[in-house]
Structure 1
Amino acid sequence: MPRARLLTRSAALVGSLALLPLLAACGGAEGGGAADAKASETSSAPVAGVVAPAKVEVIAALTGCTAEIRIEADELREGQCKTKQGNYRITTFPAEKYKLTWLEAASVYGGTYLVGPQWAVGAKTEVLEKLRAKIGGTVQSTRGLGPGTPTPSAS
């Protein structure tokens, strides 16, 4: 069941990224919008001296892992790592705009991510803090809108 949920989430995120050209064409030029309005928290803990480059294999190597590539698409690449420090997913993007769209789509599910330029790592917070010392980035938490989350009533 968890594997099916992960596959469903991955498919939803890839599908969301496929819609990116339409969203970009319809987006306004002014600041603000959904990305600014979403609720998130960031960690202000010290970061590594260097922020990792946006390549799954390089980020994985910096964390002591050889990533198993799970998704290979034009908009993103995703690798799975299973190490003694924990399990985590490394997702890289060819441009920052794809990462921002991915994070906005992922916020529906909630979660905590270590985010850097053109990459994001998803894992439990304690794992992300260990990884942050090695690859830099900012820890960001998002709220989910899944089952159990109250929805506005229609009145």
Structure 2
Amino acid sequence: MKVTRPMLAAVAVLTLVGCGSGGDEAAVPQTASGSLEQLAAEVKCAPDIQTDADEIRQAICKNPDGRFILATFATDRGQREWINGAKDYGGHYLVGRKWVAVGDETSTLTSLRETLGGDIEEGTDHSVHTGGH
């Protein structure tokens, strides 16, 4: 079975989607880079590899800050396509160059950001619907 980016995005987001509130803007370090294992070591998690393909490597991680998905990408374009597809499912994303962390709580990503740098992005919130009564 060929694993597609939208399938991986759906699995990651549906595994961890949750709600959270914004955090404060502390000093953000330079955005980290490296392999999935190197990034996981930076945030003190032992990655449970779920996908190990040429274009994406993805793992479930847990550390004292919480549970999250960590994914690395072969190309910037592949990363952006994955994020754009995943955002349709909601969730919170910490985005670096060729990597992303998906967390169930904004506070988890805020803590990860203190080590890894990057930018927090939000997915589409489908719990808010317009129209109807």
Same-fold status (TM-score > 0.5) = yes
Would you identify which runs of 4 or more consecutive aligned residues in structure 1 move more than 2 Å?
Answer: 42-46, 148-152
Greater relative contact order (Cα < 8 A, sep 6+): 2
Corresponding residue number in structure 1 for 2:8? 13
| Inter-partner Cα distance in structure 1 for 2:67 and 2:36 | 15
Out of 47, 51, 64, the position equivalent to 1:71 is 51
| Inter-partner Cα distance in structure 2 for 1:54 and 1:93 | 10
| Inter-partner Cα distance in structure 1 for 2:36 and 2:69 | 9
Q: Secondary structure at the match of 2:124?
A: strand
Corresponding residue number in structure 2 for 1:141? 122
Q: Deviations over 1:43-101 (max 9, x none)?
A: 882311x3211411011000011111111122210011112211111000001000100
Superposed, which structure 2 residues align to 1:1-150 within 5 Å?
A: 12-13=7-8, 45=25, 46-48=27-29, 50-123=30-103, 124-145=105-126, 150=129
Could you tell me the percent identity over the aligned residues? Answer: 30
Q: Deviations over 1:106-134 (max 9, x none)?
A: 01101101000000001110011111010
Contact 1:72 1:78 in 2 (8 A): yes
Q: Secondary structure at the match of 2:123?
A: strand
Corresponding residue number in structure 1 for 2:16? none
**What TM-score does the superposition give when structure 1 sets the normalisation length?**
0.65
Contact 2:23 2:110 in 1 (8 A): no
State how many pairs are aligned. 115
More helix by share: 1
Which ranges in structure 2 are unaligned for 5 or more consecutive residues? Answer: 11-21
Corresponding residue number in structure 2 for 1:4? none
